[in-house]
Amino acid sequence: MKILKKLTLAEAAGVKITKIEVLSPDIAKKTKPGQFIALMVSDKGERTPLTIVDTDKDIGSITLIFQQLGFTTKLLGEMSAGDSLYALVGPLGHATEIKNYGKVILVGGGVGIAEIYPVAKALKAAGNHITVILGARTKNLLILENALKAVSDDLLVATDDGSYGRKGFTTDILDEVLQKQKYDLVYSVGPIPMMKRSASVTAKYKVKTIVSLNAVMLDATGMCGCCRVTIGGKILFSCVDGPEFDAHQVDWDELINRSKIYEDKEKHICKLGKL
Amino acid sequence: MKKDPVKVRERKANERSVSFDEVVLGYTEKEALEEAARCIQCKNPTCIEGCPVNIDIKKFIYQITQKDYTGAYFTIREKNDFPSICGRVCPAEYQCEKTCVFTKKGSSFASEQAINIHLLERFAGDYGKENDLEVGLKKGGELSRYKVAIVGSGPAGVACAGELAREGIKVTVFEALHVSGGVLRYGIPPFRLPRDILDFELDSLKKLGVEIVPNYIIGKAKGLDELLTEGYDAVFLGLGAGVPTFLGIKGENLCNVYSANEFLTRINLMSAFKFPEFHTPVNIGKSVVVIGGGNTAMDAARAALRMQKIMGMTGDTTILYRRTEAEMPARRIEIEHAKEEGVKFGFLSSPEEFTGDDKSFVRKLRCLKCKLGEPDSSGRRRPIAIPGSDYEINCDMAVIAIGLMANQVLTRATPALAIDKYSDVIVDKETMGTSIKKVYAGGDIVGGEGTVIEAMGMAKKASRAIIKYLYKQTTINKNDE
């Protein structure tokens, strides 16, 4: 659970996106695209889920990318290479179904870009034609552009402020791309509102769409039911039944509401903590 | 001449309900001697049969009367490695004490006159802890060449680990969470089972040479098949029933509607009652409604009440149950404790729909009144909702404590492991062997929800079968040589 490497990937106006490589040979060996881990920074920490972005089976390490947003990710961002995490468990959740779908669009927003990278890489290797649409608030917060360029046939970028690529949202580009051509699959990961918009865009074109949900989790092993989501009217747990679901079946409003359960507490602890 | 039972000392309700410290204080030596002296040492002690692990209750109580507390401790440890835990959380009134000669035949739980066996067990267990009494390995150690893997460090897993380790077998316990203990840690609050007691009893396993590997999920980080090919001679599955069930009513996914597992895990495992020193939050409402009638419902309600008081809230916590108090499966003592502390009870009430505010936080619960019908398959009278009897109560936080299902992380990853329609692992009732050779299972993953000691009972049965199997291997190996 030792942090081998740490790198700041992007930084702008109070936002920081950090990459760490953590020693964990058994997890590295077993991980497939789409899976995640749960970690604790200290014995007093929360159990926090993060997608496994990459693995190095020779070194026995996994790569995690996170935005320093809440108290726990800020604490994690304060750790240095050589430090050890208190707890790390995985790989959790089902892996992405990797096969040759034909033409695939992957949409990544913000730190969600990190989550589409392993899937894009595997889908490309499986023979798919890959279009990647990336979105960030501003140019300086765009991550993994080159890495994704290397595994895609097309790569399009949107920024909220127009500082790079198109001014606007990833979903604007998605709509245009789908208007022009037929696609077989859309895979979208980012902020919940972005995934919700992706779902409504692709519904128009009747394209199968997968999202990876970041519901609030506690143990992340199927025990607590905290991360329950309504999928096609059924209650499922994002940790053990997901994290990927059919975007057109997700009860988005419920997910948005449930993601705000601890908003007050989060503000409180961030204010009290030194960070 | 039979005397009245010795009442156990408890902290006062108003003091204990503002902290998570232990409620029941246990017997002093004098009290233990007095209570033990009530035992008439029956010729045919039925209490031993009433104990799922068949502790020689008659003997250890006699040893207490002789002030041979060390002897009493070792008598219990012959059958149970965790006397301080079981002396606290065993539903004795449904088990050993129910069969005590002082209980009238046919009653569904022990009468107040029954010997307080669990409190005497606790006394002996705590004596062992305070005096560093240790049970050593069995002589011979013929099985020391064997390795057994145990999946899950809850009651079943640790009971199996203890039994095997004492035979000299190398035991490795894999635990998904960051600390061991399973439901003993995430489910049972510290006011019923203090953490130092839990830690001490689990540490006693390490002294027997058991290795506990936390943060490790068999079925994910490593398959069951890999454990077997990597040289484990047998595997025991103590996966537990860890998946919460929900009511299936409208509004159940509103914010602040918790499963009991989530609410108790936040508090017990992640110490949310010490937020923000500990980073895991929990929300508490002014009007907390806990739905269910088992021990988990009592634990959740009492934990919620404590949180309200610690946070200086004036509010109330109510347990809603569809039947009446008589049918409640919770321990009588826990029901009493909850009442004393101020938990309210709403009987014959069926929850129908939660409604929330504009931010989707729960605010109200609509219920129907019930009446009792004919007994169902559980033997208890079935609740029947009365149409048109709707009423609404305030509820800005709810905890659903209506039962658990099998954890399927491992079974889903292991298609060769036969499961039934509840996703419970199917076993041979004699050996606890599963459909996969050399793989055994016990505890809630086999029987559905049960008690700690029932899980331990199954684990012991499995450990005996594993030991027998390994002895057989030894003979085969010897013949080969």
Contacts of B221 in chain A (CB under 8 A): 26-27, 30, 89-91
Would the CB atoms of B253 and A89 count as touching at under 8 Å? no
Instruction: Judge whether residue B431 has pLDDT over 80.
Output: yes
- Supply the angle between the helices B29-37 and B117-130 in degrees, to the nearest 10: 140
Distance from CA of A40 to the nearest CA of B (A): 9
- Which of A30, A40, A219 comes nearest B221 by C-beta? A30
Angle between the A192-205 and A170-180 helix axes, to the nearest 10 degrees?
10
* Side-chain-facing half-sphere of A233: CA atoms under 13 Å: 0
For B203-227, letters b (16+ CB in 10 Å) and e give: ebbeebebbbeebbbbbbbbebeeb
Query: Which tokens go with B305?
Result: 């009440």
- Give chain A's contact residues with B (Cβ, < 8 Å): 1, 26-27, 30, 40, 44-47, 71-72, 75, 86-92, 218-219, 221-226, 228, 230, 235, 237, 240, 254, 257-258, 260-262, 265-266, 268-269, 272-273
User: Under an 8 Å CB criterion, which residues of B touch A?
Assistant: 176-178, 186, 214-217, 220-222, 242-244, 246, 252-256, 258-259, 261-262, 265-266, 269-271, 275-281, 283, 359-360, 407-409
Give per-residue pLDDT as tens, A25-65: 999 999 999 999 999 999 999 999 999 999 999 999 999 99
The residue among B90, B406, B87 whose CA lies nearest residue B238 is B406
CB atoms within 10 A of CB B202: 24
Cβ of A27 within 8 Å of Cβ of B278? The answer is no
DSSP bridge pairs for B419: B425
Chain A residues inside the 8 Å CB shell of B256: 261
**Alpha-carbon gap, residue B439 to B427, rounded angstroms:** 10
Which residues are A11's β-sheet partners?
A16
The SS3 assignment for A85 reads coil
Q: How many residues does chain A have?
A: 275
- The per-residue pLDDT for A152 is 96
C-alpha dihedral (A5, A6, A7, A11), degrees to nearest 10: 170
pLDDT in tens, B88-133: 998 888 889 998 988 877 777 888 889 999 999 999 999 999 998 8
Q: Which two tokens stand for residue A187?
A: 């895979």
Inter-chain touch A222–B279, beta carbons under 8 Å: no
Q: Taking 90 as the threshold, does the pLDDT of residue B195 lie above it?
A: yes
* Digit-coded pLDDT (tens) for A163-213: 999 999 999 999 999 999 999 999 999 999 999 999 999 999 999 999 999
> Sheet harboring B170-174: ordered strands across?
B211-213, B170-174, B147-151, B234-237, B439-441
Confidence band for B474, pLDDT divided at 50, 70 and 90 = confident
Neighbour count for residue A144 (Cβ, 10 Å):
23
CA dist., res. B25 & res. B451, Å (int): 22
Where b means 16+ CB within 10 Å and e means fewer, B36-63 reads bebbeeeeebebbebbbbbbbbbbbbbb
What pLDDT score was predicted for residue B481?
A: 57
CA distance A227 to chain B (A): 10
Q: What is the mean pLDDT of residues B396-410?
A: 93
Residue B133, number of CB atoms within 10 A of its CB: 16
Distances (CA, A) of A33 to A94, A110, A119: 9, 19, 5
Outline where B273-357 has alpha helix (H): 295-310, 332-341
Beta carbons of A87 and B176 less than 8 Å apart: no
Q: What backbone phi and psi angles, to 5 degrees, belong to B24?
A: -90, 130
* CA–CA gap between residue B225 and residue B219 (Å, rounded): 9
Interface test with B, best of A29, A30, A43, A218 (most B CBs within 10 A): A218
The pTM for the full model equals 0.94
Q: Which residues of chain A have a CB within 8 Å of the CB of B252?
A: 235
Instruction: Return the structure tokens found at B23.
Output: 């409620």
Residue A272: the pLDDT is 67
Contacts of B215 in chain A (CB under 8 A): 1, 87-89
Contacts of B399 in chain A (CB under 8 A): none
Nearest CA in chain A to B271: A44
Strands A185-189 and A103-109, how do they pair?
parallel
Q: What pLDDT is recorded for position A120?
A: 97
Q: What is the mean pLDDT of chain B?
A: 92
Is residue B169 pLDDT above 90, yes or no?
yes
Looking at residue B378, its pLDDT comes to 75
Tell the burial category of B34 from Cβ atoms under 10 Å away from its Cβ (0-12, 13-18, 19+).
middle
B101 close to B40: Cβ distance less than 8 angstroms: yes
Cα separation, A18 vs A6, whole angstroms: 7
Partner-chain residue, chosen from B186, B220, B266, that has the shortest CB–CB distance to A91: B220
